[in-house]
Structure 1
Amino acid sequence: MNRRDDEVPVAPEAAQSWDIGPIVRELRAQRERWRTARQRRLTAGGREFPARAAIERILADLCGALFPMRLGPDDLQRESEDYYVGHTLDRALRALLGQVCLELGVASAEAVHHVRRFAEALPGIRALLDADVEAAFAGDPAARSVDEVLLCYPGVLAIIHHRLAHQLHGQGLALLARIVAEIAHAQTGIDIHPGARIGRSFFIDHGTGVVIGETAVIGDHVRLYQAVTLGARSFQTAIDGSLEKGLARHPVVEDDVVIYAGATILGRITIGRGSVIGGNVWLTHSVPPGSHVTQASTRQEQVNH
């Protein structure tokens, strides 16, 4: 076979030519410096923290168990649906137990309790997700069926992950919850912190670029469009200059609110029930129920001030 002019010949021994040993030693030294600086004690054994790849597999199983005929295997038959759900859920929960033990740092009855509590929440999560899917179908004239919505809409995938992550977060499993949220973020471009509280019948249309902060509170029947931000306006600091954690710093969005594409809503403000926030609005103050806020109205307000 003739070699192309732009190809560079590589000798067979090239694979053996890298001087790996010193690099491995330097990498080990850097790891040890990092761990020493953070007072991490090294222990024998395997992983010390949950594994993202394992959590991705758990999520796939949970989605299949929640929606077996749509998100389960392509050869699943209705008569074996319960068997599949039971088998898949058992596998997912056993794997989740291992990840919970890693987050807690011990294998204990506490970890079993966490997984049992999470499992018991799944029927309620499925009921919330049914309402979310219906809201997406009702809110998008392009949707032809609820099945299309569930199979294709990134906003629905994001809210499935969020409902699961929020349950973990509420149980104090913050790292597992955040990994679940970031898996959804990577897949959909929608960034929802697992601490955010989101009511029933929630719909994100299109979705790319949506950001919902940790302490945001969203009511029932709320609809967001792409590139909406529910963020913090400022960050309080402690005496030593470090950021204060966990303070309420994100918006409260009441029931039946619609927020159009590109709107940025910052700070612990309240968007009153039934309000409509127009596209590309920048809002840092509360608005009463039934408000209609547009770029033109915010510009007029600035002029009046």
Structure 2
Amino acid sequence: MKKLIQEQIQSFQESNENKGRLLISCPDQPGIVSHVSDFLFKHGANIIESSQYSTNPEGGMFFIRIEFDCPKLRSKEVELREQFHMIAEKFSMDWKFTFGYEVKKTAIFVSKELYCLRELLWEWQNGDLMTDIALVVSNHEDSRNIVESLGIPFYHIPASKENRAEVEERQLQLLKEYNVDVIVLARYMQILTPTFVEAHPFKIINIHHSFLPAFVGARPYERAYDRGVKLIGATSHYVTNDLDEGPIIEQDIMRVDHRDNVKDMKKIGRSVERSVLARAVKWHLEDRVIVHENKTIVF
């Protein structure tokens, strides 16, 4: 299976070797789109998709995501980055180029609940989640057979409050060793320390089993049932040092009623959690998310 996935990745890289993406956020002002378009044109690039958003044309922020095609892009990568600095400085931009021949490496962290992990692996096997799943880390053994059957390295690292510093040191070492770009918490039931979070800013994606900001923290289904809610949901967000307060990438809901007990709600909620997390991860991998303050712009 791992060989098949590697062939899919190679095929993707070959078919997208001349495609790039450019993400920009900056203070809104006249001339941004003109200068960026002219820059790409002068380097032989053809814009194939462009999405933009302004918070307020007068004194607000401007965000844009551009996909482009450019012959012999790999040989122009350094030149593009170096020469774009002049435009970036002129408009005070935060910006990022990414390229189709670069496939992000992903680490998945999981505990005992495996349904979100299974969904990600299914999307990955189908080729709908274009990433190299470099490793899976778990504080339990439950997912070992599933993971290793797909040729993915599995690391069992028991975690608790007592050994958290030692555990995270080992985890950070693995992430560096595998050169990981994004970390997905697929129902990883451990709170990460500020040291871990700060090492990977806006690169850790979590799934929370409630429609945030409702029912932050533990046992959200139980609290939702006690409150008598008619809608339950799930939220995928970037992890920050504030519990379940990070920038939200994606959310969804499903209806429940008085007939549904806590067990029913959990069963209904799992399908929402799976799809919400998969979409959020996919959008991150496709460079569709720009973080601004504690919000996201998703193109």
TM-score (norm 2): 0.26
Decide which structure has greater helix share: 1
Decide which structure has greater strand share: 2
Ranked by relative contact order (alpha carbons within 8 Å, sequence separation 6 or more), the top structure is 2
TM-score (norm 1): 0.25
Which has the greater radius of gyration?
1
